[in-house]
Structure 1
Amino acid sequence: MAGGTHHIRTPATKGHSQRVVIDEPGEPTTIVGRLCTPKDTMARHVPVSLKTGDVVEFLMAGAYAWNISHHDFPMHPKASFHYVGG
């Protein structure tokens, strides 16, 4: 995963799994970011089948998920934003 809790800090702050869209069910998987901390966990035990290059879509990130995140830890690039129409 290119992102992590430095982009969406809500799961680590609240201690919950971020909701994800599951296209292909699979084994329980823990989705983590690339930071050097065990707190960089986005979702736990998600029944999904993932492979390298797949995109994970997080639902309901929250209005302050980006604002409360530690963007510059440890000097990773800032996230780009993509809006899905509704």
Structure 2
Amino acid sequence: MTGSTRRAGPVTKQHNQPFDILTGDDDGPAVADEPVTLVGQLCTPKDVFARAVSTDRIAVGDLVTFYMAGAYAWNISHHDLLMHPKLLGQLAAHHIT
């Protein structure tokens, strides 16, 4: 989710994108009780999801889920911009009961 797909989202209105952190395997480097900035892979000033947000802990390997992000599909993705390898497929599901 980068650039063109977030035009109407909270970040464009100078708000942080709502998110949750799904803890990974806890083996990676971590930051605890410090503000963090969550950015996309484009490395541009506009590719920021949240600035200086508080988290209890975030680590390499954790998954960050964003709310109010809208739909995002491969056909409108800037997938060739960074020349990264193509994804075979990935699915993350969270069921609310």
The bucket for the TM-score relative to the shorter chain is 0.5 to 0.7
Q: Where in structure 2 are there 5+ consecutive unaligned residues? A: 24-31
Q: Where in structure 1 are there 5+ consecutive unaligned residues? A: none
Deviation of 1:82 after TM superposition, in Å, equals 2.6
Structure (1/2) with the larger strand percentage: 2
Matching of residue 56 in structure 1 with residue 64 in structure 2: yes
Higher Rg of the two aligned structures: 2
Deviation of 1:35 after TM superposition, in Å, equals 0.6
* Number of residue pairs aligned between Structure 1 and Structure 2: 79
Deviation of 1:81 after TM superposition, in Å, equals 4.4
TM-score normalized by structure 1? 0.62
Question: Residues 53 and 71 from structure 1, CA distance in 2 versus in 1: closer, same or farther, beyond 3 angstroms?
Answer: same
- C-alpha distance in structure 2 between counterparts of 1:23 and 1:82, whole Å: 11
Residue 26 of structure 1 aligns with which residue?
33
Question: Residues 14 and 71 from structure 1, CA distance in 2 versus in 1: closer, same or farther, beyond 3 angstroms?
Answer: farther
Question: Residues 28 and 42 from structure 1, CA distance in 2 versus in 1: closer, same or farther, beyond 3 angstroms?
Answer: same
Relative contact order, higher structure (CA 8 A, sep 6+): 1
- C-alpha distance in structure 2 between counterparts of 1:66 and 1:23, whole Å: 20
Pairing partner for 1:5 from 2, 7, 27: 2
Structure (1/2) with the larger helix percentage: 2
